[in-house]
Structure formats: C-alpha cells, structure tokens
Amino acid sequence: MSGLLTGTAFTNQFPEINTTTGNGSDSLQGLVVAIYEIGCFAGSLFCLFAGEKLGRKNCIWLGCFILTIGAVLQTTAYGIPQMIVGRIVAGVGNGINTSTIVSGDDCVRDEYLTDGC
C-alpha cells in the first residue's frame, strides 16, 4: 500500500491521511494500513474453528469471495471509513486463504522431486 499513499489520485481522494504535505494524520494513516493485519488474524481464527467443517476447497472459495468483496469495497471507497471496512474484509479473506493454502513444498511427494527441482 505504500506506493498508493503518495499517489496523486489517492491523496486527493483521502486528504486526511496525506502525510506528504504535512496536513494528514500519521496515526490515521497507520491505522488504515495496519487494520488489514487485524482482518487477516480474524480470518485465520475463523479457519481455526470452522475450517475442518467447511473443508479445504470450500475455505479457499470462501476466502477468495470475501477477499474480492474487500477489494471492491476498497476500490470504490469514497471515504476513510469505507476504506477501513474494505481493508478489514479483504484481510479476513486473505487470512482464510493463507491459513488454508499450504506452501507448495508441503504437498509435493518424493517421486516428483527426482527431476532435480
């Protein structure tokens, strides 16, 4: 998100967090950026309790769906409150996906590793 924070279109839309001119709030900017991680934590907690019942594929689909909703909310944000809600929602989706999808080396069997990868 750091590249967006200094962009002209972004700073015009959200002057409350424009810290390049000295008029924006540093703490509000930090909240908008960091609140995504809170959503990720909530999404991974959701998988802790509901992941076994839903199954892996359904969790991945649900995470992608929630992440898409969060991306739409952020893209169409007209103010800081909507941006914060969009970042939380996208974070929940990302938390579900990152706690469900394992890294590739965990799923690879030994017979596939014989080609020298």
As for how many domains the chain has, the answer is: 1
What is the pLDDT, as a whole number, of residue 101?
86
The string over 7-19, giving b where at least 16 C-beta atoms fall within 10 Å of a residue's C-beta and e elsewhere, is: eeebbebbeebbe
Q: Is residue 17 in some structural domain? A: yes
Q: Is residue 114 part of a domain?
A: no
**Is residue 74 one of the residues assigned to a domain?**
yes
What is the pTM assigned to this prediction? 0.82
pLDDT 10s digits, 20-78:
877 888 888 889 999 999 999 999 999 999 988 998 899 999 999 999 999 999 999 99
CA distance 4 to 32: 12
User: Residue 71 domain-assigned?
Assistant: yes
- Asked whether residue 45 is assigned to any structural domain, the reply reads yes
Residue 80 forms part of a structural domain: yes
Structure confidence at residue 104 (pLDDT): 56
**For residue range 87-110, what is the model confidence (pLDDT) as tens digits?**
999 999 999 999 988 765 555 565
- Does residue 114 register a pLDDT over 70? no
What counts of helices (H) and strands (E) characterise the chain? 6, 0
The three-point CA angle 103-95-61 to 5° equals: 80
Query: Does any domain span residue 116?
Result: no
Is 67 part of a structural domain of the chain? yes
Residue 115 has pLDDT above 90, yes or no: no
Q: How many CA atoms lie within 13 A of 51 on its CB side?
A: 18
Q: pLDDT tens, 7-18?
A: 888 888 888 888
Range(s) of the domain holding residue 68: 2-102
Q: What does the pLDDT read at residue 110?
A: 59
